[in-house]
Amino acid sequence: MCEAPTWDCDRVGRWLEENNFQAYRQLFCTDHKIDGKSLLMLTESDLRHPPLQIQVLGDIKRLMICLHKLQQLNANFLKDVGFTGFTNGSVKSSSDKVKHRPLQNPKRAVSRLDSVGSLTESDSHHEDVDVDIHEVQLVNSTAGRPSRDLDPELWKTFLSFVYVFTVFLITAFVMVVVHDRVPDMQKYPPLPDLFLDNMPLVPWAFQMCELIGVVLSGICFGILFFHKHRFILMRRLFSILGTVFLLRSITMLLTSLSVPGVHLQCAGKVYGDIWSKIERTLVIWKGFGMSLQGVRSCGDYMFSGHTSMITLMNFFITEYTPRGRMYYLHTLSWVLNLFGIFFVLSAHEHYSIDVFIAFYITTRLFLYYHTLANNRALMQRDRKRTRIYFPLFAFFESKCDGVVPNEYEWPLKIPRSLKMRLYAKTWKKSS
C-alpha cells in the first residue's frame, strides 16, 4: 500500500518528477509546502484557481489522472479524515459538481436560469455551486419549443392596434414638419451617392415599389386571416411596425437631408399654420403615405418607410408559413422584397443609406423580437434589460413562452341555425 500520507515535501517533489511534472516542483514544495496529506486532498478546482492556478489545461488533466490513482491507493486515509471530495473509491473535483438528480420542480428550472446561464468565473471558485443537469437540459430545450400558453389576449391586440394607429398619425405629422424644413435645392444640391450617381432615373419605379408593397401586404394579411393564432401575430406585427415607424419619425425630425434627386419638386414653408399641418397630416395618414393615393412628400428620407414596410411584410410571411411546403411562396416573397428595394433606389426617392438603414433596423428588430419570444430562457435572462429597452415586448409577450405554431383554420364560424337549415335541405334532396 502507498504511504502517501507520511510523505514530506521532498517526497512530493520526487513524485512530481516521477510523473514528469518537475516544472511544478517549486510551486508545490517550495512556494506552498504541499506534503503527502495536502497532495491527496487536492481537487481540480485547487489546480485551476489561485493560489496554484496552473495555466496549462493539459497539465491539469494529466496531473489529476495521476492524483486520482494516488487517491485510490489511499482511499482508507481519505475516508478516515472525512474528505468529502472522495466517494465510492473516486474523487470528485469541481468539474463533477453537475449532479444527475431528479428534477423536483420543473417550473423553477427556468426561473433559475440566471444561476445556470450566467455563472461567472468568480462563481465557479465556490465549492457550493451545484447545477442540476436536468435544469440545464430544460433551459436548452426551451429554444424553439412551442409555447405552452397561446392566449389570444384580445385586449392586448387592441392596444397594439391603438399603438400603431397613433404612431402612424405621429409619423404623418412629422412628415409635414420635415417637409417645411426641406433644404433649398439651389443651395443644397443632392448629396453624392454611390448607387444614385450610377443608376439612371426610372420614373415609374416608385409606383412599382408600392404595388409590390400592396401584394406583400395582401399575402401577409391573408396569412393573418387564416392563422389559428392570428391575434398573437397581429399583436407582434403592430408592435414591431409601430416601433419601426416611431424610430423613423425620430430620425426624420433630427436631421433634414437635401433632396436626393433634381426631378423632385420640393419647396419648404408650404404648411405655415397648425391647422394646415393637421389637414395635411390627415391626408398623408389616410393615403398611407403612398404616391398611388396621391400623397407626395419631401424631407422624409432617413430612413425609407417603403423599404421598412415591404421588408417587414416579407419577414412575417416567411416566419409564419411552413418552410418546407411554402418554399415557392418564401422565394417569391424575398424576390419581391429585393425588387422593391431596387425600385425605391431606381426612382431616386431615397438615398442608398436610407434604404440600407431601413432594411437593417427592420430586420434586426424583427429578429431580436422573435429570438426573445421563441426562447423563454433568453426572455428570463434579459427580462430586466427588456423592460427598460423594449417595454412593448415585455408587455405583449408576458404570457407567450415559446414558438407560435403555424396552424391554420377557417376563422368564420357558421351559425348553428344555418347549419341545421343546410342539413335539412340536404336531407330533403337525398330523400
Enzyme catalytic residues: 306, 350, 354
Residue 249 CB contacts under 8 Å (≥ 6 apart), including other chains:
167, 170, 171, 174
Mark residue 112 as left, alpha or beta (left: phi above 0; alpha: psi -120 to 50; beta: remaining). Answer: alpha
- For helices 327-346 and 205-226, the axis angle rounded to 10 degrees is 150
Report yes or no: 274 and 180 within 8 Å, Cβ to Cβ: no
- 405 prior amide bond cis, ω within 30: no
Report yes or no: 201 and 301 within 8 Å, Cβ to Cβ: no
3 state SS of 132: strand
> Which of 115, 163, 159, 161 is CA-nearest to residue 136?
115
DSSP 8-state assignment for residue 90: E
CA–CA separation, 243 vs 392, rounded Å? 9
Residue 4 CB contacts under 8 Å (≥ 6 apart), including other chains:
36, 39, 40, 70, 73, 74, 77
Strand ranges (DSSP E) for 8-132? 86-87, 90-91
- Tally of CA atoms within 13 A in the half-sphere of 344 that contains its CB: 29
